[in-house]
A and B are shown apart, each in its own frame.
Chain A
Amino acid sequence: MFKIVSAEFLAPEVKRFEIEAPKIAAKRKAGQFVIVRISSQGERIPLTIADSSVERGTITIIVQGIGKTTREINEHKAGEFFMDVVGPLGLPSHIENFGTAISIGGGVGTAIAFPTAKALKEAGNHTISIIGGKSKEYVILENELREICDEVYPTTDDGSYGYHGFVTGKLKDIIESGTKVDFVLAIGPIPMMKAVAEVTRPYGIKTVVSLNPVMVDGTGMCGGCRAVVGGQTVFVCVDGPEFDAHEVDFTLLMKRNNTYRSEEKSALDKHVCSLDKQFAEAINN
């Protein structure tokens, strides 16, 4: 059992947890992930480690409640426990002093990009962060990133905060303004990562994305997380999760991530119904 030390919402449906996991905290490097399971009937959910503290023996994960399980995770509070947390899994990010590095996070992807942005800064890069959200309330970790990056640019789709438009628009502006960009890391929804790859491709800027396929064990045993990179099938859990954005078959990844969409929807509907019922009962009593 893994104790939750603190838990707080950063944005609607986006919650940050600090969890006691001293072994993982001591070992993990930027870019690695854990798998979390919350009950004996639960599924295994891969989540990137956003941060860690060796002194406190804790790791931080940031979870977006989308399906039944991620919403159930987000119903957990400080002082409660997660049943299983295993890791650190996957290969760490490749970090070096590239020169100028841009880290792009879309929605909860900002949480996943955060540790790598921090590592890029520590390696001596001039580090720029572009963090996008639908509207102001969905832009997360801005203050934390301001502490570690040289420049931070929030963007919102509706213009309610920062740059009005997508992260790709801001990225284009930076590149076209003449800044020499040596490295781009993009983490977020698949269409965003695909769009970033297309922005940087003509300039030949090395671009890395972190993939989020369906996983079961996370140790290479099942092959469910396979993706195609540079025409080769890879297992994201042991060969990744980070890959060259210009080589990833994003269309395939998107299709494969739809495999259980109807099951996920029915499980979520049922979960929401049962919550409504509990709520109704609470009111009646």
Chain B
Amino acid sequence: MAELTKKERMQIPRQPMPEQAPNSRNKNFTEVNLGFTEELAKLEAERCLQCPKPKCVEGCPVGVQIKDFIKLVAEGDYLAAASKIKENNVLPAVCGRVCPQEEQCEARCVTGVKGESVAIGRLERFVADYERTTTGIRQAEIKTKTGKKVAIIGSGPAGLSCAGELVQLGHTVTVFEALHDIGGVLIYGIPEFRLPKEIVKAEVDALEALGVEFKTNSVIGFTDTIDELMTVEGYDAVFIGVGAGLPYFMNLPGENYNGVYSANEFLTRVNLMKAYKFPEFDTPVFDVKGKNVAVFGGGNTAMDAVRTSKRLGAANARIIYRRSEVEMPARIEEVHHAKEEGIEFVMLTNPLEFLGDEAGWLHGVKLQKMELGEPDASGRRRPVAIPGSEYVMPIDMAVIAIGNGSNPIIQKTTPDINFNKWGNITVEEATMKTSKKGVFAGGDIVTGGATVILAMGAGRKAATAIDEYLMENAVIQ
């Protein structure tokens, strides 16, 4: 086949993601997106202009060699494409599903200037799925063992990415996880319908096959302190990637009524503990069948919670957000999917008080309408209350999804690590070094709540710095 001209490439439309129909998917927990077929993937890959100086890769926090892997897809060599992605990204099937590509690689894609950008995320997902379902995830090469031991605290995206890099560089890596299963937010937070847990497991298993050791049920700070890891257990360096993990509430009257959840609790019950399969699984969750649910917040977690409640059978599942839709931090795709599934968006509305009965059960929320005023510190227009606009909405379950503070356990048990006033660890930006020698940190515990890929980028950056630190020390010794 003759090589396509640039003009011909640009005439190919962006290929849509095949999806489960909204009216059936909002009743099950199976993945919404079905993934590209080979034909769709090849066609989409043909849209890439193979820029001599590609902008897309600048938008990728882990630096995936995007145009190279896309070229391999266009040539039909999907396994080579998978290897190419894995040079920079240890969790491609996860990232292909949950990265906000529209704000990162795809936002920089030149085809997006006049038309629509290349669907880089969909292609990444296709390639990772192709490898996993055909040959299985193939092992990367590992450098000669250095004899250096690294402890990674937290098995979420930051920790997994750091572990994957370090093990390939020849270091001995152990990941410590507080919960009973590996993956952090990928397994307790992000729902099955957006990121199937068997896919997380396959990518974790691949890291284990590379030699990464995983220890569950280990709350670092309590089970072992960081000092003990370094002195008693003989770890030469430590990476802290424990995430945010302390949910904010709104401090409103009635917030402790039964039926008011943090997003973390609601999602953990449903995702990690599989409460959607109660009583086959033992952990229950509030029964929302035929009930009214309100989720407060406008981010991806709020979308995950509200779509989960719809799948659990809620009659009305609503997002209540104090600004307007434009200001919502959630991905456009999530908002779009939520709307298709029948989620109602109540914008410019703020809760004042939760209402309940004598026995302590939630039955409503007092709301107030807002309007947008001057921009605030975040650059978004500040919501201002409209006097006299208060009204009561009957609800049976509320989910508070307004973000997370930082978990205090490491802070309380490691006095020589510096934290800022919000409880986030302070690090040197280029190296992710903390104030404690040999200890590095990255992800939400440093930045506050952000995205999977930013955490992975931090984990990767720290891995490079940890490798330098370990090898420098090796020379001195």
Binding site for B on A (CB under 8 A): 23-24, 27, 37, 41-44, 68-69, 83-89, 216-217, 219-224, 226-228, 233, 235, 238, 252, 255-256, 258-260, 263-264, 266-267, 270
Contact = CB atoms under 8 A, between A and B. Distances in A.
Interface in B195-237: 216-219, 222-224
B282 A89 contact: no
A69 B249 contact: no
B262 A270 contact: no
Contacts of B178: 86, 217, 219
Given A222-B264, A252-B360, A263-B284, A86 B180 contact: yes
Given A44-B273, A216-B273, A270-B279, A89 B222 contact: yes
B115 interface: no
B324 interface: no
Given A221-B264, A263-B278, A267-B279, A86 B219 contact: yes
Contact of B408 (A37, A68, A220, A227): A220
Contacts of B217: 84-86
B44 interface: no
Contacts of B265: 216, 222-224
Interface string B356-373: 000110000000000000
Interface string B234-269: 000000000001110101000110110110110011
B258 A259 contact: yes
B274 interface: yes
A83 B287 CA distance: 28
Residues of A contacting B: mostly: mixed
A19 B407 CA distance: 29
Given A23-B223, A238-B409, A259-B258, A41 B280 contact: yes
Given A86-B219, A220-B245, A263-B284, A258 B268 contact: no
A-B pairs, top 3 by smallest CB distance, nearest first, are: A255-B360, A263-B284, A222-B265
A270 B249 CA distance: 36
A68 B256 contact: no
B286 interface: yes
Contacts of A84: 180, 216-217
26 contacts: A23-B223, A27-B222, A37-B180, A84-B217, A86-B216, A87-B222, A88-B222, A216-B283, A217-B179, A217-B188, A220-B409, A221-B264, A221-B407, A222-B262, A222-B264, A223-B247, A223-B249, A223-B262, A224-B262, A228-B256, A233-B255, A233-B256, A255-B258, A256-B258, A258-B359, A259-B259
B246 A41 contact: no
B268 A252 contact: no
A250 to B, nearest CB: 12
Contacts of B219: 86-87, 89, 219
Contacts of A216: 265, 268-269, 273, 283
B270 to A, nearest CB: 11
A227 to B, nearest CB: 8
Nearest to B262: A223
B422 interface: no
A43 B282 CA distance: 5
Contacts of A260: 284
Contacts of A87: 219, 222-223
A33 B148 CA distance: 34
Given A37-B180, A43-B273, A216-B265, A259 B286 contact: yes
Contacts of A228: 256
A235 to B, nearest CB: 8
Contacts of A85: 217
Nearest to B266: A222
B256 A226 contact: yes
Contacts of B222: 27, 87-89
A24 B217 CA distance: 11
A227 B251 CA distance: 13
Nearest to A32: B222
B223 A27 contact: yes
A86 B224 CA distance: 12
A43 B264 CA distance: 16
Nearest to A72: B282
Contacts of A86: 178, 180, 216-219, 223
Given A24-B223, A87-B219, A87-B223, A69 B264 contact: no
A252 B282 contact: no
A24 B281 CA distance: 27
B210 to A, nearest CB: 24
Given A87-B222, A219-B178, A267 B282 contact: yes
A37 B279 CA distance: 16
Interface in B96-148: none
Given A44-B283, A83-B180, A220-B409, 11 more contacts: A23-B223, A41-B281, A84-B180, A84-B216, A217-B178, A220-B246, A222-B247, A227-B256, A233-B255, A252-B256, A255-B359
Contact of B279 (A83, A258, A266): A266
A69 B278 CA distance: 13
A124 to B, nearest CB: 27
Contacts of A264: 284
A224 B259 CA distance: 10
A37 B178 CA distance: 13
Contact of A238 (B223, B255, B408): B408
Nearest to B357: A255
Contacts of A270: 279
A273 to B, nearest CB: 12
Contacts of B283: 43-44, 216
